[in-house]
Amino acid sequence: MPEPALAVPVIHEVNPWVALAYLVAGVFFILALRGLSSPSTSRQGNRFGMAGMAIAVFTTMLLKAPVPEGQFLPEPTAADLATLVQILIAIAIGGGIGFVVARRIQMTAMPQLVAAFHSLVGLAAVLVGLAAWLNPGAFDIVDTAGQILVTSRIEMALGIAIGAITFSGSVIAFLKLNGSMSGSPIMLPGRHVINLGVLAAIIVLVAAYALSGAGGPGEGLLIVWITLLAFIIGFLLIIPIGGADMPVVVSMLNSYSGWAAAAMGFTLHNTAMIITGALVGASGAILSYIMCRAMNRSFISVIAGGFGADAGDAGPGVAKTDRPWKRGSAEDAAYLMKEAETVIIIPGYGMAVAQAQHVLREMGDQLKEHGVSVKYAIHPVAGRMPGHMNVLLAEANVPYDEVFELEDINSEFAQADVAFIIGANDVVNPAAKTDKSSPIYGMPVFDVDKAKQVFFIKRSMGGVGYAGVDNDVFYMDQTMMLLSDAKKMVEEINKALAD
């Protein structure tokens, strides 16, 4: 009998101009990440990112095929032109939807939008992976014997698994952020055993698929089970994570979407996707780690689905209103802040909900006209996603040099005349320093209790923060509670300052 032919991988020729264009796009993406690291350079960073993406998309569409020596562009066929038209139509539809959504979305809904976009990236990775499995020849991932390459099997299966986890996890994150689902952790009995079992099963199935034969129903069942189990584990990982950890979840899902894109980049032989996915994946993971450190959370605990958490870690709660507290007015706040030397403003998600950032900036401007030093203190996890408060203050044209991170301003509260808290709660809660049973224990918080005077804007005394923990700041001797909608209260303060 003749010897069977060896399965030899197909060698893909690469247009050198494509490699150069993707390299330039990658440099722009790196510059974009660098720009986005600071509010003062974020707009320039966005421009770099858009330029890099434009180069990558243009290159993928027009410079995909290898070109004969001495030529710059390949000669397009009628089929190429038809495909290009279809791609442009798809880009126009998707871009139009994105443009409309971006124009209409409220800043308070930005975290939900980010979670929704992550889910779409994950779903796209799943669909691309399934398309490559169904028609591997079109993706050039077969060897000379017509079988899918082992490396391509691994890349494809991992891309599908990570994409499915990203999709289902992002759907849960969206529902929690949107209020369509309780922000409290949902603890399944034996959840850690279930999670580890499902993850182990996915790894075994990926290995089995990589080593499987030339196809058939058995191979198809492996892919189907990998996809289904990955969808399930995405739900299971995010459901037990409480509201206080949602900023880390959003950042981590961003990382997952990057790794899914990178895996699909290998399947598509697209260097730009590999570079972009790796940058997004790595930067998202690093940001998640930094935020976990800022919250004194275990990085592994959060990404593993609330390891070590219990059912009381977050969720609805009520303030202990039987304790004595003082109610203040807009006139009280205006008078005392006008007479102060230093006012530190701490914004939180309540400011975002009330869309009070613009009137808050007007209040700051009026105080500065009276010779008051005004500073804004931003906690790393204030809001529902990383940098949420920075974005809102930048939208209101608050000067960047007046905005400070926790570690840069926390020591100044002891000398501050007024701490003005608007819509924040957990990030100023002393329980993080004193109560070992609190779910936020160990999380660095602003030392507002050291300020001479504290004004605390919240809608009522009947509610607490997203972590579901009562706040001793409400009841301090130097605290005046300003119970009202944040925007309405600040407007009244501005009117009092102007009189």
Known catalytic residue at 408: no
Q: Are the C-beta atoms of 423 and 486 separated by less than 8 Å?
A: yes
- Please say whether the beta carbons of 386 and 250 come within 8 A: yes
Cα separations in angstroms, 450 against 113, 171, 319: 37, 41, 22
DSSP letter, residue 6:
P
Torsion sign (Cα): 466, 471, 473, 474:
positive
- Please, are residues 423 and 353 in contact by the beta-carbon 8 Å criterion? yes
CA angle 81, 85, 89 (to 5 degrees): 170
The residues facing 345 across adjacent strands are 376, 420
Catalytic residue among 245, 426, 447, 470: 426
Measure the CA–CA gap between 392 and 19, rounded to whole angstroms.
39
Sheet bearing 479-483, strands edge to edge: 403-405, 373-378, 342-347, 418-422, 453-458, 479-483
CB atoms within 10 A of CB 81: 10
Smallest CA-to-CA distance from 226 within 263, 191, 280 is with 263
Separation in Å, CA 425 to CA 434, 468, 499: 16, 10, 30
SS3 (DSSP) at 286? helix
CA distance 295 to 429: 13
Q: How many of the other CB atoms lie within 10 Å of CB of 49?
A: 19
111/99 Cα distance (integer angstroms): 17
| Alpha carbon distance 480, 348 (integer Å) | 18
Contact between 493 and 333 (Cβ < 8 Å): yes
- Name the residues annotated as catalytic: 426
